[in-house]
Chains A and B, each alone.
Chain A
Amino acid sequence: MALLEVKNLSITFQTKYGPVEAVRDLTFTLDHGESLGVVGESGCGKSITNLAIMGLLPKNAELKADKLTFNGVDLLSLKERDYQKLRGQQVAMIFQDPMSALNPCFSVGEQIIETISVHRQISKKDAHAEALALLNQVGIPAPEERLKCYPHELSGGMAQRVMIAMAISCRPQLLIADEPTTALDVTIQDQILNLLRDIQKQNKMALMLITHDLGVVAQNSDKIQVMYAGEVVESGPTASVVHTPAHPYTKGLLAGHPSHQKAAANDNATKENNKTGATKKRKRLPSIPGMVPDLKQRPVGCQFHPRCHKAGPECMKGMSLLGITNPSHANRQVRCAKPELV
Chain B
Amino acid sequence: MLTVKNLKKYYSVKKWPAEEKTVKALDGVSFTLQKGKTLGVVGESGCGKSTLAKTLLHLEAPTGGDVLFGQQSPAQMGEKNYRQKIQMIFQDPYNSLNPRMRAVDIVAAPLAVNSDLSKEEREEKALQILEKVGVSRANARKFPHMFSGGQRQRLGIARALIMNPEVVLCDEPVSALDVSIQAQVLNLLMDLQEDLGLSYIFISHDLGVVNHVSDDIMVMYLGKVVEHGPAEEVMQNPKHPYTKALLASSPGLDASNRPLARALGELPSPLNPPSGCTYHKRCPHATEQCQTMVPELKAAGPKGTSQVACFYFDKI
Distance in angstroms between the alpha carbons of A270 and B233 in the assembled complex: 13
Q: How far is the CA of A152 from the CA of B225 in the complex (A)?
A: 29
A256 touches B180 (CB 8 A): yes
Give the complex CA separation of A335 and B55 in angstroms: 50
- Complex Cα distance, B207 from A253, in Å, reads 17
Question: Is residue A33 contacting chain B, with contact meaning CB distance below 8 A?
Answer: no
CB distance from B6 to the nearest CB of A (A): 27
Bitwise, A138-172 to B at CB < 8 A (1) or not (0) is 00000000000000000111100000000000000
- Indicate if A80 sits at the interface (CB-CB under 8 A): no
Evaluate contact between A190 and B190: CB separation under 8 angstroms: no
CB <8 Å contact, A185 and B250? no
Bound together, the chains give a CA A188 to CA B267 distance in angstroms of 8
CB of B65 within 8 Å of the partner chain: no
Given contacts A189-B251, A260-B207, A287-B183, 5 further A-B pairs with CB under 8 A are A186-B205, A213-B179, A218-B253, A258-B211, A289-B184
Please state if A287 and B194 are interface contacts (CB–CB under 8 Å).
Answer: no
- Is B236 located at the chain interface by the 8 A CB criterion? yes
Q: Are B232 and A257 in contact (CB under 8 A)?
A: no
A279 surroundings in chain B (CB, below 8 A): 36
Stretch in A85-93, A119-127, A261-269 with 4+ CB within 8 Å of B: A261-269
* A267-B205 in contact given A218-B255, A287-B183 (Cβ < 8 Å): no
Asked if A253 contacts B180 (CB within 8 A), the reply is yes
Residue B248 at the chain A interface, CB threshold 8 Å: yes
A259 and B267 form a contact (CB under 8 A): no
Decide if B45 is an interface residue (CB 8 Å cutoff): yes
Chain B residues near A270 (CB-CB < 8 A): 232
29 A-B Cβ contacts within 8 A? A41-B178, A156-B45, A157-B267, A185-B205, A185-B267, A190-B263, A191-B262, A212-B179, A214-B253, A219-B255, A220-B251, A242-B253, A256-B179, A257-B208, A258-B183, A258-B186, A258-B209, A259-B253, A260-B247, A261-B254, A263-B231, A266-B212, A266-B232, A281-B194, A284-B191, A285-B187, A289-B184, A291-B150, A292-B178
What are the residues of chain A within 8 A of B36 when measuring CB–CB? 279
Closest to A286 in B: B183
Considering the complex of A and B, which 8 residue pairs feature the smallest CB-CB distances, nearest first?
A215-B251, A190-B249, A256-B183, A287-B183, A185-B44, A258-B212, A258-B208, A41-B178
Which residues in A have their C-beta under 8 angstroms from that of B254? 218, 261
Q: State the CA gap A319–B77 with chains docked (Å).
A: 63
Q: How far is the CA of A253 from the CA of B213 in the complex (A)?
A: 18
A270 to chain B: closest CB distance in Å? 7
Whether A186 pairs with B178 at a CB distance below 8 angstroms is: no
Q: Are B253 and A185 in contact (CB under 8 A)?
A: no
**What 1/0 mask marks residues of chain B from 170 to 214 whose CB sits below 8 Å from any chain A CB?**
000000001111111011001100100000000001111101110
Q: Are B148 and A291 in contact (CB under 8 A)?
A: yes
| CB-defined contacts of B182 to chain A, threshold 8 Å | 256
Q: Taking beta carbons and an 8 Å cutoff, which residues of B are in contact with A? A: 36, 44-45, 148-150, 178-184, 186-187, 190-191, 194, 205-209, 211-213, 215, 231-232, 235-236, 245-255, 262-263, 266-267
Asked whether A59 is an interface residue with its Cβ less than 8 Å from the other chain, the reply is no
Residue in B44, B183, B208, B215 whose CB lies within 8 Å of A259: B208
Q: Which residues of A contact B (CB under 8 A)?
A: 41-42, 155-158, 185-191, 193, 212-216, 218-220, 239, 242, 252-254, 256-263, 266-267, 270, 279-282, 284-289, 291-292
B266 in contact with A158 (CB, 8 Å): yes
Contact (Cβ within 8 A) B190 A186: no
Q: Which residue of B lies closest to A243 (CB)?
A: B253
User: Which B residue sits closest to A213, measured CB to CB?
Assistant: B251
Are A190 and B266 closer than 8 Å at their CB atoms? no
Q: Which residues of A contact B255 (CB under 8 A)?
A: 218-219, 239
Task: State in angstroms the CA–CA spacing of A254 and B247 once bound together.
Answer: 19
Q: Is the CB of A252 within 8 A of B180?
A: yes
Contact status A285-B212, CB under 8 Å:
yes
Known: A157-B266, A186-B44, A258-B212. A288 touches B183 (CB 8 A): yes
B248 neighbours in A (Cβ, 8 Å): 190
Q: Which residues of B contact A220 (CB under 8 A)?
A: 251
Compute how far the CA of A212 lies from the CA of B181 in the bound complex, rounded to whole angstroms.
Answer: 12
A284 to B186, CA, bound (A): 8
Q: Which residue from A260, A282, A289 sits with its C-beta under 8 Å from B190?
A: A282
Q: Please, how many angstroms separate the alpha-carbon atoms of A288 and B209 in the complex?
A: 17
Inter-chain contacts of A287 with B (CB < 8 A): 180, 183-184, 187
Whether the pair A261, B232 counts as a contact (CB closer than 8 A) is: no
Taking the closest CB of chain A, its distance from the CB of B247, in whole angstroms, is 6
Report whether A263 and B235 are in contact in the complex, using a CB–CB cutoff of 8 Å.
yes
CA distance A155 to B187 in the complex (A): 35
**Distance of A157 Cα from B148 Cα, bound (Å):** 30
